[in-house]
Amino acid sequence: MRYIIFFSLLLISCVDKILIEGPSVQPKLVVDAWFTNVADFNSVRLSKSAPFSNNYPFVVFNEPVSGATVTVYSQDKSRAISFSEDTTGVYKTSEIAEVGESYFLEVQGPGGQLYRSSIQKVEQPVSIESLDFTFDKVDDIINTTSGGYQTIPRYYFNVSANINDPEENQNFYLWKSIGIFEYLTIPPGDSPCNFCKCWSTISPLVGSVNVSSDQYINGSSFSVKVGSILYDRSTGFLTRLYQFSITGSAFQYWNAISNQQRNTGTIFDPAPGNIAGNIVSVGQENEEILGYFTTASVSYNKLLINRGSEARKLNVNEPNLIPPGDGDCRLLYRNSTHIKPVDFQ
């Protein structure tokens, strides 16, 4: 089985900072829109880009756009899906896309200006055959107080997804992985242990999104790395993986952003600039709109790892495990709950 590594540094969920060239920064509409066959992923995030300050004209942050009218239409307009504002600047719907159908997005801003996307098809889903992991040792080099350095061995669970690419069609993939950590605590004194176990969600798991096409692997089986988890506790860890089958044009957009974010840091890199999306301002085609309307079908798989049990199977004795904390588990770990996740069995 071949291993192929893909890179991308842009999150699906939002666009927090954008680099824009030019001596001055004009506010631009930023659209991060998704319509899939899974309701949880269907959202449209609207914002206006604005410079951080006159002293930093190239650092641009986004201000949410509230009060817009957001609608997704089927290609023949026989179906209209309204998105309601859920939180400031974020619009959602409980309706889902039909696989094989095509859709476009329309946004009417608070001032009445109309914005429209190109037509995008919802591609056929490709299943995630399985998730597995390797348990790997990495020697980390750290500085010492004496000015020298020392090597400390650390162990990681590296999680990969296995996919059988269909031969009959060209396929384009985008992956999002979510991690759920299990934590244990010790109650103070003789107090009852009411909340000594909790679960904390990290989304996305690796802070990035993987994207690839099957241009060189059409019809073959391949694996893609979707997460790396440090063995710092003996508790469980759950990986949830969502695979988005996207269009070729959506792949070009996300891949271009990936390349721009990855190819920075040397004098030979191209200057950062805005990447063309698929949304225009109707009647004002010269107005630059940032972002993309992405349609996709979604596949899902999961992997639960008992880190302590797996390490013992391999006779790994990790002396640097973090001991349980004290008190209410929910107060010690961010975004945690005492309610056991459904997949955490």
Domain boundaries, the chain: 2-123+247-296, 128-244+300-337
For the ranges 95-109, 205-219, 231-245, the lowest mean pLDDT is seen at 205-219
SS (H, E, C) 26-90: CCCEEEEEEEECCHHHCEEEEEEEEEEECCEEEEEEEEECCCCEEEEEECCCCCEEEEEEEECCE
Cβ distance 81 to 69 under 8 Å? Answer: no
Which is higher by pLDDT, 277 or 204?
A: 277
Q: How is residue 247 written in tokens? A: 């269009």
Q: 263 CB contacts (<8 Å, ≥6 apart)?
A: 269, 270
| H helix intervals, the chain | 248-262, 307-313, 329-332
Q: In which band, very low, low, confident or very high, does the pLDDT at 328 lie, cut at 50, 70 and 90? A: very high
pLDDT digits (tens, 9 = 90+) for 74-133: 999 999 999 999 999 999 999 999 999 999 999 999 999 999 999 999 999 999 999 999
pTM of this structure: 0.85
Rounded distance, CA 184 to CA 329, Å?
7
Q: Residue 66 CB: number of other CB atoms within 10 A?
A: 14
pLDDT digits (tens, 9 = 90+) for 29-83: 999 999 999 999 999 999 998 665 555 445 556 899 999 999 999 999 999 999 9
Q: Provide the phi-psi class of 332: left if phi over 0, else alpha when psi is between -120 and 50, else beta.
A: alpha
Rounded distance, CA 173 to CA 161, Å?
12
Rounded distance, CA 326 to CA 188, Å?
6
Q: What is the mean pLDDT of residues 163-179?
A: 95
Rounded distance, CA 37 to CA 123, Å?
10
Query: What share of the chain in percent tops pLDDT 90?
Result: 67
pLDDT at position 14: 45
pLDDT at 283 over 90: yes
pLDDT at position 12: 46
For residue 257, report the phi and psi dihedrals to the nearest 5 degrees.
-65, -40
pLDDT at 16 over 50: no
Q: What is the mean pLDDT of residues 166-192?
A: 91
Query: What share of the chain in percent tops pLDDT 70?
Result: 84
Which is higher by pLDDT, 52 or 15?
A: 52
Coil/strand/helix, residue 191: coil
pLDDT at position 215: 92
pLDDT at position 274: 76
pLDDT at position 272: 55
Which is higher by pLDDT, 142 or 237?
A: 237
Q: What residue type is assigned to position 159 of the chain?
A: V
Q: Considering the chain, what is the average pLDDT of its residues?
A: 87
pLDDT digits (tens, 9 = 90+) for 132-157: 999 999 988 888 888 888 888 889 99
